[in-house]
Structure 1
Amino acid sequence: MTVHSKLQPYIDAWTHSIEAISEMVTPLSEGEWNRATECPGWSVRDVVSHIIGFECEALGDPRPIHSLPRDLYHVTDEFSRYCEVQVDVRRCHTAPEMTSELEYTIIRRSRQLRNETRAPETTVRGLMGREVTLELQLRMRAFDVWVHEQDLRRTLDRPGNLDSPGGLVTRDFLLPQLPKVVAKEAGAPAGSAVVFDVHGPVEFMRTVRVDAEGHGTIDGSVSLGPAVTLAMDWETFVRLACGRVRGDAVGDLVKTEGDQDLAAAILGHMAVTP
């Protein structure tokens, strides 16, 4: 048996991104591992530790038994505590230890994925012990690794791969989240429409429409006279949607037309990832 056709695109996207990460961090000096990223409280080392830790969990490795310090300001809820254990346990690791563990984890995980014969709907253990389908697990790993690849690229000034397979997985993951942002979080009025016009390496135009009951839907058709149009480049869209930057910090990168209060509310609630 071979890998199911539904799973292969996620495996390919994950492979492309994680190999790019390995190539980026292998030559780093010890000091470069300590550079701060846009992930609150996380350095380059911490981002790589997070990736290693989650891939080890996908492999079925036991989670580390580790008590977190009480002064980590960015650890604010149960999910962030869950993520931080895999990160904090590696904060004392040297650059060679980090690159060696990353390389070994990639080898193990690639072998597992290469030999994957289970169906997409197979139930597997997800984050925090929740049961998810294999397809969702692989989709989320492709998304997570690409987003962190971009975190590292911005920190290390190594731009690239914005339109790689992982970027397209990320686009398809983020777009369905926009109706909730517009209709529920930002409170767009019933009967209104909001247009997202994104340009750059990954381009799209989508309209979120709010019906009479206040529910949002998204489609690719053009809206005549939308309440708000938000135009930005792809990287800015990703940074906003993934909570890397606040809307008021990228005002020079986002062009807004229409209801400015609603536009500000949407930008203020753009983050859809934990």
Structure 2
Amino acid sequence: MTEDRPPTPVAEIARIGHHEAMRLAAEENQRFHSLLQQLSAGDWNRGTDCARWTVRDVAVHVIATAEAQASPREFLRQAVRGRRLTAQIGGQHWVDGLNEAQLQARRDLHAPDIPARWASAADAALRSRRRLPGAIGRLRLLPLGSMAGVDFGWQPLSYLFDIGFTRDVWMHRIDIARATDRPLNPTREHDGRIVEDIIAEWATLHADPFHLRLTGPAGGTFVRADDGSAPLEIDAIDCCRILSGRGTPAGVLEHPLPL
């Protein structure tokens, strides 16, 4: 619960820097691996909150993304193939084609092999992310453009290599846990830091006042220019799901933050 923690002005949220980001990434990678190891044969074909994706598809996407982080050659292979596929599948963003390319190239990855493949890919990706020179990370080389109605334009590599990729794994761990009825077991120290960093960035994308009371172990109370209205109370994980396009937004949560 969050009642005994005072509200935090959103401008005072400490953003996640590189060193903390790498610690969170290592922990998230382990939690994702633990979840994959729990899955039964019947879990892999279950549908998820990601349109058209099964649990297996989500896991394969996360693996492929990690393999691209670890290898510039693999990233280029996915990007080139994905660019061709975007139009073919009626994608709205180049990421749609990239995701499709990831799945197509890994059709032969069998479910029993997925946990071990993730462990190997995650370790290699984390090594690559830790070694990214600061000067390179600051280069605005990522053409994110418009996603879910939000214009991200060009972002520095560190936007993804520090915390963006970890958010992706975290949200997909939530997708798989929900689809398979596995416990998420969020903690304040890990999931709570990811949540408040998401809220801090989300607040930069709109100017509306808000008073969010996010419940659960990952929660907290966050305010900006409180207008005196009743706080919006919602589970912290559900709040992030809604911001990411999963679920039905209402009020200030109609401002998205693609994850």
Give 1 or 2: higher helix fraction: 2
Report the Cα distance in structure 2 between the residues aligned to 1:140 and 1:170, rounded to whole angstroms: 12
Identity %: 21
1:273 aligns with 2:258: yes
1:80 aligns with 2:96: yes
SS at match of 1:206: strand
1:61 aligns with 2:73: yes
Q: Name 2:34's counterpart in structure 1.
A: 23
Deviation at 1:50, TM superposition (A): 1.5
After superposition, the CA RMSD in angstroms is 3.3
1:39 aligns with 2:50: yes
Question: Per chain length, whose mean CA-contact separation is higher, i.e. which structure has more relative contact order (CA < 8 Å, sep 6+)?
Answer: 2
Q: Name 2:228's counterpart in structure 1.
A: 225
Q: How does 1:47-126 map to 2 (within 5 A)?
A: 47-59=58-70, 60-62=72-74, 63-64=77-78, 65=81, 68=85, 75-113=91-129, 116=131, 118-119=133-134, 122-123=137-138, 126=142
Higher mean C-alpha displacement, 63-72 vs 103-112: 63-72
Cα deviation 1:76-135 (Å, max 9, x = unaligned): 433322233213432443113433422321232244456x2733763466577x662436
Q: Name 2:213's counterpart in structure 1.
A: 197
Q: Is the 8 A contact 2:212 2:232 kept in 1?
A: yes
Q: Name 1:157's counterpart in structure 2.
A: 181
Of residues 178, 183, 199 in structure 2, which corresponds to 1:174? 199
Deviation at 1:61, TM superposition (A): 3.5
Give the residue type in structure 2 aligned to 1:61: R
Cα 1:105–1:230, aligned 2, differ >3 Å: closer, same or farther? Answer: same
Cα 1:199–1:78, aligned 2, differ >3 Å: closer, same or farther? Answer: same
Deviation at 1:149, TM superposition (A): 1.5
Give the residue type in structure 1 aligned to 2:68: E
SS at match of 2:162: helix
SS at match of 1:20: helix
Cα deviation 1:196-237 (Å, max 9, x = unaligned): 12122123222233xxxxxxxxxxxxx3623x6311121221
Aligned length: 228
Cα 1:204–1:118, aligned 2, differ >3 Å: closer, same or farther? Answer: same
Q: Is the 8 A contact 1:46 1:88 kept in 2?
A: no
Q: Name 1:254's counterpart in structure 2.
A: none
Question: Which ranges of structure 2 fall in alignment gaps of 5 or more residues?
Answer: 1-15, 145-153
Cα 1:79–1:270, aligned 2, differ >3 Å: closer, same or farther? Answer: same
Rg (Cα) greater in structure: 1
Q: Is the 8 A contact 2:66 2:121 kept in 1?
A: yes
Q: Is the 8 A contact 1:240 1:270 kept in 2?
A: no
